[in-house]
Amino acid sequence: MSNLNKELDLSLLRLHDLLESRWLSPEKVFSAADENGDGHITSDEFTLFLSTLGVSAWSEQDSRDIFNHFDESGDGEIDLKEFEDKMLQISQVAKKKVTYQKVDPIPVDESTRFVSLVAHNEMKSVLLKFVEEQRDFFSQVPLVTTGSTGKSLQQRLGIPVERLVASGPLGGDQAIGGMISENRISAIFFFKDPLSSHAHAADIEALTRLCDVHQIPYATNRASAIGLLMALQEFGLDWHMDSDENSILNKYNQGQSQVIAAVGQSK
């Protein structure tokens, strides 16, 4: 982007941020813009797609300049490789806008309660952007994340991760679920990709079920994450420990006590 004029640079970065906030990967954007499904995007298709995003502030000239930037071959059409290559370049420029110093890790012990950060592959950039916006908060609380998400946080934002677990499909979701059962999790930010299927869907369902059982607040998208963040900032990581015991869990434990007592009497 170094050879482009400043106005076009800003438009391209704005497009990048807009698509990222809508959870749209380059491949999904291309598929949505390719109205006739022929594997190429024409100028008219591109302009129409921008209008569906609600980009009314851009003039026809702006749209044309952006299209020409993606059309590297100059044949009047954009193919998938051209689009992905250009989006990667824009993404790399966007990531270089700010450089953060590393934050010191937070001391943890057996009583430490963590905030969990998890994201599907298509949502990692959205989660990272959210954490970047709220860096002051997330750099001051103990974090547990799946491996790839944690490495991205440390490398890009300089935020230490106190505990790393495996990626979701390899058991990371189950590991975090185990921490919930041990009362080691205060909240979970799990940015889900709602438009793709996942091989570990059963693990994801089990994790969110445990959140409901143990009354752990969790957010699955940026909008709900903002609400959860506000609650944590207001009440702290231990806010729900002062509330009444979960009636569903209490009823289950009472039932299990009766089962155990009945088994003991039968002997």
Number of domains in the chain: 2
Return the bridge partners of 139, or none: none
CA-to-CA dists, residue 161 to 63, 102, 140, 150, angstroms: 41, 11, 11, 6
> In whole angstroms, what is the distance from residue 246 CA to residue 237 CA?
17
Give the per-residue pLDDT at 103: 86
The residue assigned the tokens 């050879």 is 3
Are 132 and 221 in a shared domain? yes
CB 152 within 8 A of CB 128: yes
Q: Which of 68, 95, 122 is the C-terminal boundary of a domain?
A: 95
Write the CB contacts of 3 (distance below 8 Å, at least 6 apart in sequence): none
Are 120 and 207 in a shared domain? yes
146-155 LR contacts (CB < 8 Å, sep 24+): 146/118, 146/172, 146/173, 146/176, 147/172, 148/124, 149/117, 149/118, 149/119, 149/124, 150/117, 152/124, 152/128, 153/117, 153/128, 154/102
Selected catalytic residue, list 34, 79, 173, 203: 173
Write out the residue range of the structural domain in which residue 58 sits. Answer: 6-95
Asked if the structure places residue 195 within a domain, the reply is yes
Are 118 and 88 in a shared domain? no
Each residue's pLDDT expressed in tens, for the chain with a length of 267 residues:
544 466 777 777 777 777 766 666 788 888 888 989 999 999 999 888 877 776 555 677 778 888 898 998 899 999 999 988 888 888 777 666 556 778 888 999 999 999 999 988 878 888 888 898 888 899 999 999 988 788 888 887 889 999 999 988 888 889 999 999 999 999 999 998 887 777 778 888 999 999 988 889 999 998 899 999 999 998 888 876 544 555 666 666 676 676 676 666 665
CA-to-CA dists, residue 220 to 82, 114, 176, 189, angstroms: 32, 17, 15, 6
**pTM of full prediction above 0.75:** no
> In whole angstroms, what is the distance from residue 158 CA to residue 152 CA?
9
Are 155 and 46 in a shared domain? no
Give the per-residue pLDDT at 65: 86
Catalytic site includes residue 136: no
Are 129 and 177 in a shared domain? yes
> In whole angstroms, what is the distance from residue 185 CA to residue 113 CA?
5
Asked if the structure places residue 143 within a domain, the reply is yes
Write the CB contacts of 211 (distance below 8 Å, at least 6 apart in sequence): 180, 188, 217, 218
